[in-house]
Amino acid sequence: MGHHHHIEINRDERFELSAEGKKRIFLALAIGLVMTCIGIFMLAMGYDKVEHHGASHGTKHEVHATAGGHEAVAHEGTANAMAESGLEGRASHEAAAEGHKEVAKEGLNKHAEVAASHHEFHWTTRLLADLWHNAVFFTGLALIGTFFVAFNYVAYAGWSAGIIRVPMAMGSFLPITGAILLIVFLLGQHDLFHWTHSELSDKASPHYDKIIAGKGWYLSVPFFLIRMVLFFGLWILYRMIILRNSLAEDSEPGSARWKKNVYFSAGFLVIFAVSESMISWDWLMSIDAHWFSTLYGWYCFASWFVSGLSVITLTVLYLKKRGYLAHVNTSVLHDLGKFMFAFSIFWTYLWVAQFLLYYYANISEETIYFIQRRDGFDNHYTFLFFFNLAINFVFPFLFFMTRDAKRKELFLQIGAIGLLAGHWLDFYLLIMPGATKGNSSFGFTEFGLCLTFVSLFIYVVSNTLSKHPLIAKNHPMLEESLHHDI
């Protein structure tokens, strides 16, 4: 590569959140809140009701909306449906279908009464599910910021040294989503999480549920809350330690602080691996309390990671456009593009692996999760089910395929915005079918809350960025980042 000349950069530059910028953010926030209020009013007055009748009529699978997440009744026509879908309806299939029918019927009867007692659908459930959806998604974005910083420290990565303060700032949103998740859970646990009803674990109760009772040691409200508070506490603590070391390094030459951060980052990665899996089980998978997947933690991680990378990319591009971070060259942007490309494919691999296993085994209490999303509730989620694959796999796969696409700012911007929207939708699909059955929709509440969270996130992260220098000027690998060339 030859000898590099020294690149002159302003090592003390700070981002300034202009009055104009603040005005725009607060305007967006106000519009989001007004839309949310209009949405809540419409829901309360019944204007935004989803015309939906529980069981799907005339579809191949008769899916009954009951409370337990155990909604499939293997219909008399299961064998015919199999034959229709190109599988031979052989005797073995019919026998299997009979067996599944019994299991599913048993589950259905058990939950029919519970459904009657708990699940008279109320519009507040949709509002709580929307709040939960956004708070979970944005918690992931904030958390991925710290994860990105940590794995770059542990990998001794030099390319990212010039942008490391951007993901460091993202974690500042954690206390806000933490508070929102805590409040929503305390207010809406019975609406969103079927397992929180204590009679399900009571053998004397007519609503006793063997499966949920069996998970009772883990799915108990106090333990759930302890995990939530503990994880948020640890994430915020580690983020503060790493940030403090990085800022102290600005005034202390030498690599002592950097070495400390490598150790703390290694500790954070262990905590992240455990906590990220557990929050995906707690906050998302337990909404469908009977169903489980051993890939779920990975799946949610991949979705969050692609989203977090998109935020980092968009922030870096925005700062460059405003005249900051002039030292960030196209090779650094190219690496961000490669990450988004690679992890979109990783996400797809996990999606397919999870789907194929259930499709192939065809056990009704497992396939129910996909039947609900693909053609349950009068095909309520069918379009989203396929659109999810199109926007999160087909789009980035074709869009980021060429080297040029990952080096052009406009392309990176379009790709990152598309992926953010796509993975926001992915989380919508993880939550809504289980929480609201077929009663979800896209109205003022959904878009208003999304806009509210986006503006809050932008404000908090921008505000954090403006407090410290944008460049970790004594980072031992900063020179490597300045001369990064691929």
Which two structure tokens, joined as six digits, stand for 424? 């926001």
- Per the prediction, the chain carries an average pLDDT of 86
**What confidence tens digit (pLDDT) does each residue in 166-193 have?**
999 999 999 999 999 999 999 999 999 9
Predicted local distance difference test score (pLDDT) of residue 46 = 85
- CB burial of residue 199 (10 Å; 0-12, 13-18, 19+): middle
For the chain, give the number of residues: 486
Q: Is the pLDDT of residue 91 over 60?
A: no
> Distance (Å, rounded) from C-alpha 295 to C-alpha 310?
23
Helix (H, G, I), strand (E, B), or coil: what is residue 477?
A: coil
Give the Cα separation of 162 and 143 in Å (integer): 20
Burial 231-256 (b: 16+ CB within 10 A, else e): bbebbbebbebbbebbbebbeeeeee
Of 76-80, 103-107, 313-317, 416-420, the one with minimum mean pLDDT is: 76-80
Residue 174 is predicted with a pLDDT of 97
Phi, psi of 143 (to 5 degrees): -70, -40
Q: Give me the pLDDT at residue 105, please.
A: 44
Integer Cα distance of 78 and 118 in angstroms: 29
CB neighbour class for 485 (10 Å; exposed up to 12, middle 13-18, buried from 19): exposed
Over the stretch 238-272, which tens digit does the pLDDT of each residue have?
A: 999 999 999 999 998 889 999 999 999 999 999 99
Using one digit for the tens of pLDDT, what is the confidence trace for 153-163? 999 999 999 99
CA–CA separation, 192 and 163 (whole Å): 39
Question: How buried is 112 (Cβ within 10 angstroms: 0-12 exposed, 13-18 middle, 19+ buried)?
Answer: middle
Q: What span, in angstroms and rounded, lies between the C-alpha atoms of 402 and 307? A: 21
Q: How far apart are CA 83 and CA 67, in angstroms?
A: 30
Q: Residue 284 — very low, low, confident or very high, per pLDDT cuts 50/70/90?
A: very high
CA 151 and chain centroid, separation: 20
| Nearest-angstrom CA–CA distance, 228 and 139 | 12
What pLDDT is stored for residue 12 in this prediction? 81
- Report the candidate in 172, 159, 235, 179 with the shortest Cα–Cα distance to residue 466: 172
pLDDT at 126: 94
- Binned at pLDDT 50, 70 and 90, residue 486 comes out as confident
Amino acid letter at 41?
F
What's the pLDDT at 364?
A: 83
Q: What pLDDT sits at residue 48?
A: 75
Alpha helices in 287-379 (DSSP H): 296-321, 330-361, 364-379
pLDDT value at position 51? 63
DSSP 3-state of 153: helix
Strand partners of residue 122: none
- Report CA 148 to chain centroid distance, whole Å: 16
Q: What is the pLDDT of residue 277?
A: 96
Q: What local confidence, expressed as pLDDT, does residue 192 receive?
A: 94
Q: pLDDT grade, residue 100 (50/70/90)?
A: low
What pLDDT is attached to residue 4? 57
How far apart are alpha carbons 89 and 264 in whole angstroms?
57
pLDDT at 130 over 60: yes
- The partner residues of 14 in beta bridges, in order of sequence, read 469
Give the Cα separation of 187 and 305 in Å (integer): 29
For residue 53, is pLDDT > 60? no
Q: Phi/psi class of residue 156: alpha, beta or left (left: φ > 0; alpha: ψ in -120 to 50)?
A: left
Give the whole-angstrom CA distance, residue 424 versus residue 432. Answer: 12
Q: What is the pLDDT of residue 435?
A: 93
**Sign, Cα dihedral of 19, 20, 26, 27:** positive
Contact between 132 and 188 under an 8 Å Cβ cutoff? The reply is yes
Helix (H) / strand (E) containing 62: strand 62-63
* 121 CB-near residues (< 8 Å, 6+ apart): 436, 437, 439
pLDDT of residue 203: 85
Find out whether 159 and 332 touch, Cβ atoms under 8 Å.
Answer: yes
Q: How confident is the model at residue 107 (pLDDT cuts 50, 70, 90)?
A: very low
User: Which of 24-28, 63-67, 372-376, 472-476 shows the lowest mean pLDDT across its residues?
Assistant: 63-67
* Dist CA 102 CA 133 (whole Å): 34
Quick one: which of 144, 166, 143, 149 has its CA closest to 261?
149
Distances (CA, A) of 484 to 159, 202, 329, 478: 6, 62, 8, 10
Q: Determine the Cα–Cα distance for residues 404 and 338; give it in Å rounded to an integer.
A: 11
- Amino acid letter for position 429: L
Residue 405 pLDDT greater than 80, yes or no: yes
pLDDT tens-place string over residues 330-382: 999 999 999 999 999 999 999 999 999 998 998 888 898 999 999 888 899 99
**Structure confidence at residue 74 as a pLDDT band (50, 70, 90):** very low
Predicted confidence at residue 128, as pLDDT, reads 96
pLDDT tens digits, one per residue of 186-219: 999 999 999 999 888 888 888 898 889 899 899 9
**Per-residue confidence band for 62, with pLDDT thresholds at 50, 70 and 90:** very low
